[in-house]
């Protein structure tokens, strides 16, 4: 029986739409910067710290969870089907590629609930040794600029994306102040302290100079008038001969 012409043209289209029909589940989770009080350096010039996606991928035990880091202007053009480790998602090609994939983990790495005492965070940009190593395209290397950046978590079963979170809000990193922008005058309090210190130093120098001058003058005859010391008269000590005491004989009766 001859095939219908429309059926032959629809078959390839249906095959293309089959993966899309399965779709990628959007999970109700948005990555955020951590606000753990003891943790310092939430953002630096090349890193930032995220909360881990705890209790988010419980239904995807066979998946691998990846962190997608993108420029804010490039997040909408990111393709979930772009596999990790490809030129399109390699860290070494970022930011030219506008996004990269890193920090892969299994759902077991994000247990639910969080064990007591655990600090459930991820520091993005902490690896420096692999930043230029093209054999490690999923390197968690230092971020190349202040941003803004957006991130999301993506679950892959094999090479098929099955679930993803929302993109985070734009994240800006710290920027170092230029040398010209650093004020050399200091605050008003600092200027006052400098003035007081200067005045005290001048007064101390004047006092020290006066003390030295006084000591110099007192070393000469002009200090307190001249004093005459008379030579003490010699004392003559007379010599006395010692009289011997003789026992007188007892008077005879």
Number of domains in the chain: 1
Confidence of residue 75 (pLDDT cuts 50, 70, 90): very high
The answer to whether residue 231 is domain-embedded is no
The CATH number given to whatever domain includes residue 158 is 2.60.40
The answer to whether residue 82 is domain-embedded is yes
The answer to whether residue 241 is domain-embedded is no
What pTM was computed for the model? Answer: 0.63
The answer to whether residue 102 is domain-embedded is yes
Note down the domain range covering 45. 25-170
Distances in whole angstroms, Cα of residue 66 to Cα of each of 1, 53, 140, 163: 50, 11, 11, 11
Nearest C-alpha neighbor of 80 from the set 149, 136, 138, 156:
156
Lowest mean pLDDT among 33-42, 67-76, 180-189: 180-189
- Whether the pLDDT of residue 163 is over 60: the answer is yes
pLDDT of residue 229: 47
- Whether the pLDDT of residue 156 is over 80: the answer is yes
The answer to whether residue 121 is domain-embedded is yes
What are the phi and psi torsion angles at 160 (to 5°)?
-100, 125
């Amino acid at each position: 029986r001859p095939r219908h012409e429309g059926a032959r043209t629809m078959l390839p289209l249906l095959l293309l739409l089959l993966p899309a029909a399965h779709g990628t589940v959007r999970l109700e989770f948005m990555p955020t910067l951590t606000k753990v009080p003891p943790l310092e350096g939430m953002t630096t010039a090349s890193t930032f710290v995220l909360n881990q996606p705890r209790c988010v991928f419980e239904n995807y035990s066979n998946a691998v969870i990846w962190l997608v880091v993108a420029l804010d202007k490039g997040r909408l053009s990111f393709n979930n089907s772009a596999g990790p480790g490809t030129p399109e998602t390699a860290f070494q090609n970022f930011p030219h590629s506008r996004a990269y994939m890193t920090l892969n983990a299994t759902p077991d790495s994000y247990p639910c609930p969080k064990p007591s005492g655990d600090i459930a965070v991820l520091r993005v940009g902490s690896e420096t040794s692999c930043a230029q190593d093209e054999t490690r395209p999923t390197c968690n290397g230092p971020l190349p600029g202040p941003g803004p950046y957006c991130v999301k978590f993506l679950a892959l079963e094999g090479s098929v994306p099955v679930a993803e979170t929302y993109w985070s809000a734009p994240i800006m990193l710290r920027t170092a102040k230029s040398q010209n922008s650093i004020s050399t005058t200091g605050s008003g309090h600092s200027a006052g302290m400098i003035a007081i210190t200067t005045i005290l130093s001048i007064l101390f120098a004047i006092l020290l100079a006066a003390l030295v001058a006084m000591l110099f003058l007192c070393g000469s005859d002009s200090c307190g008038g001249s004093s005459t010391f008379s030579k003490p008269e010699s004392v003559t000590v007379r010599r006395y001969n010692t009289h011997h005491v003789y026992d007188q004989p007892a008077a005879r009766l």
